[in-house]
Structure 1
Amino acid sequence: MDVPRELSSSFALLAPPGVATRTRLKGLSAGDEEVLRLVGAHLGSLASSDLKRRCGDGLEHSADTWAQRKRVLAEQSSSRRAGSITEATHDQWTLSRRVQLAHIQGLEAGVRTIAHRLSLLVGEKVTKRAPGGYRTQREWFAKTRRLHLLEGRLAAERTDREAGRVRVVQGGKRLARNRQHLEQAQLTEDVWRQRWEAARWFLRAGGESGKRFGNETIRGTPDGEVSIKLLVPFAHLADSGRDRYVLTGTVAFRHRDEKWADRVSADRAVACRIRLDTGRGRWYLTASWTIPPARTVPLAQARTGGLVGVGADTDHLAAWCLDEYGNPVGEPRRFSHDLSGSAAHRDAQVRHALIRLLHWAVRHRLAIAIENLDFQTETTRERHVRRKRFHRLISGMPVSRLRARLASMAAELGITVVAVDPAYTPRWCAQRWQKPLTAEARKTSRHDAAAVAIGRLALGHRIRRRTAPPPAHQSDGQGHRTAQASYGGRGREGTHPRIPGPRTRSASPAPRAKAGDQHARHCSGHATEHGSWCQDLLPLSL
């Protein structure tokens, strides 16, 4: 018999340490675009060479090697540009190490799954906790070969990680592979070349506090003017003083515009990045800056008054309000989204669903509870071999991005997000809450019931409902004889108000002392003990 593991404690998600906003650079002339292309291509070549040297250093990287790389870049550009390039290179190498570790963990999960299934008899049935054996001897033999292949890949990846070796493609590995499959990617060679060159450009600069408008290299003013500090090889193209080139187009941020204007007016650090979207032929400017860490609200305070339980699915977010006792209040809500299409479309759909959810939570002035989902070990190829539909289902759910975006957007509105352990939630919510919450006028889905279960876990309650005890006796030791206590219900002790009017067709009963009057009860030491009392005579007919 499987023993359920102990659930981990709920916790409040932390807000991100920085924010970013993006806008389009409109009204650029042909000369502006030519200057941006020249500067981006020159700095991109320097960034590619620096990334190559950083990958060659491996684990032997130190502050001295970093300073040496920066001096080499400063001779070909400037000190500020060299600092931005080396910092971006270090971030990219660190990201590659994290991706490498995730790939190793996926290979390990695949090796464990195949080894377990090979140890079983052919045709052995699957259990709740582990997959069964392979169906045929032919499939068993094919998986033995795949096991040797995965073990070889795993050994190579472990060797690279121990040596500090990573493989990074400046511009993206997917775009590089599309060069060999242009027809399949529906691209021409010229279009692919434009995308490849634009992806390898480097047009970014870190912010500097105390400098004019918070950035000396790529500067944006509150009036919308954008200027770039040109390098020595392109100084003859400057149209302003101190080797600066002012773009003819202006910018206006539609999101966080007031915060951006306050920072640049106070000369606080603002990092800027310029990017070209070759598909649309548009230039974009992204401004980012760090924010002070948000004050973490204690769980006891976040649970005051209840919260909103949210269950994530592939096409919608199911939400239900719960009071502080864990009882669902009102009707469930659904916030639909479409995860088909391009990555930009899916990201926009997730943002749209989240902002509707957050506005609904703001109206109720409640915190939000969500599962701390992570399908890293569940999306491996060998985990669900025959359940291809389920594998596509969990692989298409952007749980990590959804959780990160929810925490970021909730911090802007001052809403606390509580993460709970997702173990056993789908099974227990169907057993405990789906049927009781279903009525003739309301069909409760499994995801709606999961929202109630998630909210109860975040409130510190158990998922299961309070069920009526077996009718062995009617004493108070039996416990509550109701399935769920209503909010604001009266207790068992105390004065109950008298309902006016006759309750039946018979005459109304004579008035008597209320149960709450202690003088009318036969208690020791009260006036009722000293009153006169006489037993009536028995009737003669008995």
Structure 2
Amino acid sequence: MTLTATPGARRAPFRPIAASFVVTEAAGVAIRDRLRLSGRDEEVLRAVGAHLGSLASRDLRHYGAANADRSPAAWAVRKQALTADASSRWAGAITKSTHDQYALARRCQLAHLRGLEAGIATLEHRLSLPLGARGAKRAPGGYRSRREWFAKSRRLLILRDRLARARADWESGAVRVVRGGRRLARTRHHLTEAGLSEQAWRARWEAARWFLTADGESGKRFGNETIRVTPDGEVSIRLPAPLAYLANARHGRYVLASKVSFRHRGAEWRDRIEANRAVAYRIHLDPQRGRWYLDASWTRKDLPVIPLDALRAGGVIGVDTNADHLAARLLDSHGNPMGAPRRFDYDLTGTADHRDAQLRHALTRLLHWAEATGVRAIAIEDLDFTGSKTREKHGRRKRFRQLISGIPTGRLRARLLSMCAQAGIGVIAVDPAYTSMWGAEHWQKPLTTKQRPATRHDAAAVAIGRRSLGHRIRRRTAPPPHHQSDGAGHRTAQARPGDRENEGNRPRVPRPRTRSDGAGRDRNAVDQNAQDRSGRSTEHVQLMLSL
């Protein structure tokens, strides 16, 4: 059935609000230190990374092909074939990386399918409407001109063709993954615009395709047999079988001349390796800086679970996420705003490293303020703009689509969780429905003063904080029936102007007589013309003139 917008149509009912919940803390920990390598060390690492990278590319190509055998028996065969060219542990790390990459590609493939289906449904709906038809709040209207209608009809055919190819890949299980990154691969054809020479691009491309990652093993010496780091910082690598001639230590190992000392969480890392608990390592090169790094990561399984009521006891900080800043407001346990609003700006232009640094800086200032106030939780919206970025849904609103795409929902949430876990602060996620609208309606004006005008973002932060505390967003509610002036008969909703039989007196509530409340006091309460007033109603004046 075609949906059309009619003038005077009633607004759609509000959707139910989901309950707030405590976000699970980040279970993974990753630290990094720089490797100052000698010329010999760099040659060995380049040879090992290139050799294992070629094996990883070959394994991913076979595993991601259409109609490939992905059974456990086929995995054992793949691992056995890789073991002959590397080692059993290197083969296990490569196959695990392949499985993780394939799973990620399949999730992205499914999201791409859902986006194409949503875009096609929107185009079909708008093309079915007459030109210039008005839309509703939840259903867009028709196109403005025949030229636009024709262009969108052509785009519909293109999207249908893309959907058919994507469905074929999904059904066959084929994925298209570029080891090293598709963006870097396309940069090869635009070196002048990127400001790179072919040699510089080649260095980045090779470094991105190397494989120098080893998974940890609990119970093994220092938690890893492939890339081993001792408590005093000595790094050694188990060389693949074809490169065993490069070893400078026993059992086919190569010991680097450089040592590491993890300054961030170094004590926690040292406790793990001394107890022979699993620690994964990754060696990689930053070709822009010409620096080598060693990353150590592990999983924490003994994280404490803090109840929601315990986090609410000391109040919360409500945070409204925007494209260029975080609007924060401190609330006590009763939902009352305290102090002045805070704003933490960031700039999400430039490189990925610059954007990540901007987010970390803003979140660091937010956490420092949270620690100073003594709260135990930060409330954020459970945002997901996956289905709201298509141009078919928002049409010409390009700036709005760019605004939605610019809000760092996923990266901000992951970074906030990891930093809050380190600071001992919980994160409460709330339903984002109507927080901006109701916050502006109930809180923007009361919070505005002559010296400090409140913004919609400040009001939304208050709404988010109140929802996380379990309170309603509106400032005041109607009192209980038996606490109103006339008992349970008081009406909080007034009758509409056209309603009939709503002019009668209210029923009298039995109560003791007083001097000001004599008998028959309310007998003329409805007759406005019988009151002690200077004016008369229009109906009374017309009646007097007609006599």
Fold shared per TM-score above 0.5: yes
1:321/1:5 CA distance change after superposition, 3 Å: same
Q: Which amino acid letter does the alignment assign opposite residue 353 of structure 2?
A: A
- The answer to whether the 8 Å contact 1:96/1:168 transfers is yes
* Counterpart in the other structure of 2:292: 283
1:425 aligns with 2:442: no
Please give the residue correspondences for 1:124-523 in structure 2 after superposition, counting only pairs within 5 Å: 124-366=133-375, 367-466=377-476, 475=485, 477=487
Q: Secondary structure at the match of 2:256?
A: strand
Between 330-339 and 267-276, the greater mean CA deviation after superposition: 330-339
| Among 25, 31, 36, the residue aligned to 1:21 | 31
Identity of aligned residues (%): 62
For residues 154 and 144 of structure 1, the distance between their equivalents in structure 2, rounded to whole angstroms, comes to 15
Q: Deviation at 1:255?
A: 1.8
String of CA shifts for 1:469-493, please: whole Å, max 9, x gaps: 9xxx98374999xxxxxxxxxxxxx
Q: Secondary structure at the match of 1:436?
A: helix
- The answer to whether the 8 Å contact 2:222/2:273 transfers is yes
* Counterpart in the other structure of 2:523: none
For residues 157 and 181 of structure 1, the distance between their equivalents in structure 2, rounded to whole angstroms, comes to 27
- The answer to whether the 8 Å contact 2:281/2:294 transfers is yes
1:137/1:69 CA distance change after superposition, 3 Å: same
1:185/1:479 CA distance change after superposition, 3 Å: farther
* Counterpart in the other structure of 2:16: 6
- The answer to whether the 8 Å contact 1:12/1:296 transfers is no
For residues 182 and 55 of structure 1, the distance between their equivalents in structure 2, rounded to whole angstroms, comes to 30
- The answer to whether the 8 Å contact 2:53/2:209 transfers is yes
- The answer to whether the 8 Å contact 2:63/2:69 transfers is no
Q: Which amino acid letter does the alignment assign opposite residue 211 of structure 1?
A: K
* Counterpart in the other structure of 1:114: 123
- The answer to whether the 8 Å contact 2:66/2:169 transfers is no
TM-score relative to the length of structure 1: 0.85
For residues 12 and 293 of structure 1, the distance between their equivalents in structure 2, rounded to whole angstroms, comes to 17
Q: Which amino acid letter does the alignment assign opposite residue 408 of structure 2?
A: P
For residues 281 and 13 of structure 2, the distance between their equivalents in structure 1, rounded to whole angstroms, comes to 53
For residues 138 and 464 of structure 1, the distance between their equivalents in structure 2, rounded to whole angstroms, comes to 46
For residues 226 and 203 of structure 1, the distance between their equivalents in structure 2, rounded to whole angstroms, comes to 13
Q: Secondary structure at the match of 1:369?
A: strand
- The answer to whether the 8 Å contact 1:22/1:285 transfers is yes
String of CA shifts for 1:350-369, please: whole Å, max 9, x gaps: 11211221222222232111
- The answer to whether the 8 Å contact 1:110/1:382 transfers is yes
Q: Deviation at 1:381?
A: 2.5
String of CA shifts for 1:489-528, please: whole Å, max 9, x gaps: xxxxxxxxxxxxxxxxxxxxxxxxxxxxxxxxx9xxxxxx
1:53 aligns with 2:71: no
For residues 25 and 182 of structure 1, the distance between their equivalents in structure 2, rounded to whole angstroms, comes to 30
1:98 aligns with 2:94: no
Q: Secondary structure at the match of 1:286?
A: strand
Q: Deviation at 1:57?
A: 6.7
For residues 22 and 42 of structure 2, the distance between their equivalents in structure 1, rounded to whole angstroms, comes to 46
Q: Deviation at 1:467?
A: 6.1
* Counterpart in the other structure of 1:500: none
TM-score relative to the length of structure 2: 0.84
For residues 333 and 59 of structure 1, the distance between their equivalents in structure 2, rounded to whole angstroms, comes to 54
For residues 113 and 148 of structure 1, the distance between their equivalents in structure 2, rounded to whole angstroms, comes to 13
- The answer to whether the 8 Å contact 2:56/2:94 transfers is yes
Root mean square deviation, CA, Å = 2.0
Q: Deviation at 1:167?
A: 1.0
Uncovered stretches (5+) of structure 1, i.e. residues with no partner: 481-521, 523-542
For residues 451 and 488 of structure 2, the distance between their equivalents in structure 1, rounded to whole angstroms, comes to 34
String of CA shifts for 1:364-393, please: whole Å, max 9, x gaps: 232111000111011112222211111111
Q: Which amino acid letter does the alignment assign opposite residue 23 of structure 2?
A: L
Q: Deviation at 1:152?
A: 1.4
String of CA shifts for 1:4-48, please: whole Å, max 9, x gaps: 11111111101123211112112x111111100000000111111
For residues 474 and 89 of structure 1, the distance between their equivalents in structure 2, rounded to whole angstroms, comes to 68
Q: Deviation at 1:242?
A: 2.1
Aligned pairs, how many? 477
